[in-house]
């Protein structure tokens, strides 16, 4: 019942943000001209974009399957694909993608996977996922300053903020994993300070939950030290997975029959949007992502930037939401029928 209430609440929140985004983006625009442009796109290229989104979801399922095997847990790849779909669906509809992993653990329990194993695997996926964004984000100002000046001048403050938040997140998680004792002391002292300042109330249950969660980080550290090759391979798979999703925007570019901008420029522009919005407390960075797209892709799509944004977001976020929603329903039906046997 609690899970159902959370889904309803998050769905309503998603709908409100979506409607506000629609109003903000399309208010005052010539919608007839936009729809006319969309009608003339090459559907073959868009189907390739949908395939890339499916590949993105499938990529995480391969990581889950691969890491489960390193724990000695043998699962069918299609079951891991259901776990991946559940994660993406609930990440899409919750602020800062907070709902994905708890729901993945919920469904993994149905396969009798120990919660500590599931938590460690999903923790590593989170770290590598954000690490890839940090590497790309740091690589752009270090090695592609011409690219920055050509495309990013108007959004540099947002990009640097998103990059800083991702660097902080990865650094903090790394500290938790590799220096859990130090991290525990820092966080407990911070909690004491917040309680003394009456910013938060004193709760023993909060401290107990925190100490329990710290055990997960210790187990993650032990896993990382023991399975370095596995982690390296996961990072490589994550890179390929992320680049596939970013490349979906290139299929939109080709669908409009455009040329002159290389695939890597488009991939890295889309990566800039992901780096900028990944840590923001909005489902899929909704609202901010659209605004950033219109600004930085204008020199690429020119007169069709608005319809290109609609299709690109449709591929990169809304098709991901619909595909993962379909397989999340499949997962629910599968485990309901399995429980009745």
**Closest Cα to residue 104, out of 127, 80, 76?**
80
Which is higher by pLDDT, 23 or 69? 69
- For residue 119, what pLDDT is reported? 81
**Closest Cα to residue 58, out of 87, 86, 91, 84?**
84
For residues 247 and 268, is the Cβ–Cβ distance under 8 A?
Answer: no
- pLDDT exceeds 70 at position 283: no
* Residue percentage of the chain with pLDDT more than 70: 80
- Count CA atoms within 13 Å of residue 90 on its CB side: 21
The pLDDT tens digits for 57-69 are 999 999 999 988 8
Residues with Cβ within 8 Å of 48's Cβ and at least 6 positions away in sequence, in order, are: 251
- Mean model confidence pLDDT for the chain: 82
For residues 52 and 251, is the Cβ–Cβ distance under 8 A?
Answer: yes
Q: Collapse the DSSP code of 94 into the 3-class scheme (helix H, G, I; strand E, B; otherwise coil) and give the result.
A: coil
**Closest Cα to residue 249, out of 111, 53, 116, 99?**
53
- pLDDT exceeds 90 at position 184: no
For residues 275 and 136, is the Cβ–Cβ distance under 8 A?
Answer: yes
Q: Is 123 among the domain residues? A: yes
DSSP letter, residue 282:
S
Q: Collapse the DSSP code of 113 into the 3-class scheme (helix H, G, I; strand E, B; otherwise coil) and give the result.
A: coil
The pLDDT tens digits for 132-171 are 999 999 999 888 888 888 889 889 999 999 999 999 988 8
- For residue 27, what pLDDT is reported? 47
Q: Is 302 among the domain residues? A: yes
The encoded tokens of residue 257 equal: 């029959």
- For residue 284, what pLDDT is reported? 53
- For residue 13, what pLDDT is reported? 58
Average pLDDT for 303-307: 87
Q: Is 313 among the domain residues? A: yes
Q: Is 203 among the domain residues? A: no
Range of the domain at 305: 41-171+231-340
Q: What sign does the CA torsion over 207, 209, 215, 216 have? A: negative
- Please compute Rg for the chain using Cα positions: 21
Q: Is 22 among the domain residues? A: no
The distance from CA 83 to its chain's CA centroid, rounded to whole angstroms, is: 15
Average pLDDT for 108-123: 84
Q: Is 32 among the domain residues? A: no
Q: Within the chain, what is the greatest distance between any pair of CA atoms?
A: 63
- For residue 77, what pLDDT is reported? 92
Average pLDDT for 303-328: 86
Q: What is the rounded distance in angstroms from the CA atom of residue 78 to the CA atom of residue 93? A: 23
Confidence of residue 30 (pLDDT cuts 50, 70, 90): very low
Q: Collapse the DSSP code of 154 into the 3-class scheme (helix H, G, I; strand E, B; otherwise coil) and give the result.
A: helix
Q: What is the rounded distance in angstroms from the CA atom of residue 325 to the CA atom of residue 322? A: 5
Average pLDDT for 87-111: 81
Total tally of structural domains belonging to the chain:
1
The encoded tokens of residue 86 equal: 């559940």
Distance of CA 23 to CAs 270, 288, 328, Å?
23, 13, 29
Q: What is the rounded distance in angstroms from the CA atom of residue 67 to the CA atom of residue 51? A: 24
Q: Is 46 among the domain residues? A: yes
Q: Is 183 among the domain residues? A: no
For residues 55 and 325, is the Cβ–Cβ distance under 8 A?
Answer: no
For residues 64 and 73, is the Cβ–Cβ distance under 8 A?
Answer: no
For residues 156 and 164, is the Cβ–Cβ distance under 8 A?
Answer: no
- pLDDT exceeds 70 at position 17: no
Confidence of residue 178 (pLDDT cuts 50, 70, 90): confident
**Closest Cα to residue 278, out of 173, 175, 169?**
169
End-to-end Cα distance, the chain: 22
């Amino acid at each position: 019942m609690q899970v159902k209430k959370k889904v309803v609440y998050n769905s309503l929140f998603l709908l409100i943000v979506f409607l506000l985004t629609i109003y903000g983006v399309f208010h005052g625009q010539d919608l007839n001209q936009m729809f006319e442009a969309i009608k003339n796109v090459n559907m073959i290229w868009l189907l390739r974009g949908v395939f890339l989104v499916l590949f993105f979801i499938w990529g995480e399922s391969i990581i889950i399957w691969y890491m489960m095997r390193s724990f000695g847990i043998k699962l069918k790849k299609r079951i891991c694909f259901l776990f991946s779909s559940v994660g993406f669906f609930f990440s899409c509809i919750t602020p800062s993608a907070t709902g994905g992993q708890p729901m993945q653990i919920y469904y993994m329990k149905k396969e009798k996977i120990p919660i500590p194993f599931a938590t460690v695997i999903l923790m590593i996926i989170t770290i590598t996922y954000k690490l890839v964004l940090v590497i790309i984000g740091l690589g752009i100002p270090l090695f592609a300053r011409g690219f920055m000046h050509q495309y990013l001048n108007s959004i540099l403050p947002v990009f640097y903020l998103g990059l800083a938040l991702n660097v902080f997140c990865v650094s903090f998680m790394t500290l938790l994993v590799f220096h859990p004792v130090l991290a525990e002391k820092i966080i407990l002292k911070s909690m004491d300070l917040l309680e003394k300042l009456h910013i938060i109330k004193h709760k023993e249950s909060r401290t107990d939950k925190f100490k329990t969660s710290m055990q997960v980080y210790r187990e993650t550290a032990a896993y990382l030290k023991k399975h370095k090759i596995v982690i390296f391979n996961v990072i490589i798979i994550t890179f390929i997975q992320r680049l596939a999703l970013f490349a979906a925007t290139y299929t939109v570019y080709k669908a409009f029959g455009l040329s002159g901008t290389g695939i890597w420029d488009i991939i890295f522009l889309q990566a800039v949007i992901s780096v900028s919005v990944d840590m923001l407390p909005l489902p899929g960075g909704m609202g901010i992502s659209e605004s950033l797209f219109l600004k930085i892709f204008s020199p690429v799509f020119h007169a069709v930037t608005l319809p290109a944004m609609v299709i690109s977001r449709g591929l990169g976020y809304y098709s991901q939401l619909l595909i993962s929603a379909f397989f999340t329903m499949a997962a629910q039906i599968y485990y309901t029928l399995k429980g009745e046997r």
